[in-house]
Structures are given as C-alpha cells and as structure tokens.
Amino acid sequence: KNQVEQSPQSLIILEGKNCTLQCNYTVSPFSNLRWYKQDTGRGPVSLTIMTFSENTKSNGRYTATLDADTKQSSLHITASQLSDSASYICVVSERTSYDKVIFGPGTSLSVIP
C-alpha cells in the first residue's frame, strides 16, 4: 500500500535556529514529491515540487532534498522565523494517475522567541 510517513510529528525550535523535517514514502511508480506549508486555519501552500531527476530544490529559506533510491525527502528550514510556525506536509504522486496523490500527516513546527 502506498504510504507517506513524516517525522517528527511535532517540533519546537528557537527563532533563528535551523531545522530539518523528514519524509519517507513507499509510493510507486513515483511522479513527484511536493512540500506544502499549512498555517493554522488556512489551506496548504506549495513550497517545492521535485521530480525523479531532481535531488535539491530551494525556495528562499526552504530547501528540499530528494533521494529517489531510498525514497526519502527532507525539508530544511534555515534561520527560522516566528512565521514559520505551521504544519509542513509532504505529498507524493504516482506517475500513472491524477488521483494517486498521497498526503503525509504533516509535521507541526512551532518557532518560539
């Protein structure tokens, strides 16, 4: 069964520190992997999209990596800000069909002063 797992479930860091969130998946055949940021009470917003051939993608202070061989991805946040407090969701798509999009449960990040 296709699955997406994320760790940790939640994380608290001090403002200005870096952090890394993990995503492991078993989706096959693989199409792309996306990271979304979801603020409380809002819809998810796309941060990065990576295909099989890409292993790094940056969006400002957010850098996503992908190892398609081990089926692992990470999202690194540099110099965290209070506004980074949110849920970060890893989403993996199968190559075959639009409806085969698997959402991970998310990592809840709290950045404190």
Partner 1 sequence: NAGVTQTPKFQVLKTGQSMTLQCAQDMNHEYMSWYRQDPGMGLRLIHYSVGAGITDQGEVPNGYNVSRSTTEDFPLRLLSAAPSQTSVYFCASSADMYNEQFFGPGTRLTVL
Q: Which positions lie near partner 1, rule CB under 8 A?
A: 4, 31-32, 34, 41-46, 49, 89, 93, 97-99, 101-106
Q: What CA–CA distance (Å, rounded) separates 7 from 17?
A: 18
Nearer Cβ to partner 1, position 44 or 77?
Answer: 44
Q: Given CA atoms 25, 29, 35, 41 in this order, what sign does their dihedral have?
A: negative
Residues 6+ apart with CB under 8 A from 13: 19, 80, 109, 110, 111, 112
Nearer Cβ to partner 1, position 3 or 56?
Answer: 3
Residue 44 Cβ vs partner 1, minimum distance, rounded to whole Å: 5
Nearer Cβ to partner 1, position 15 or 52?
Answer: 52
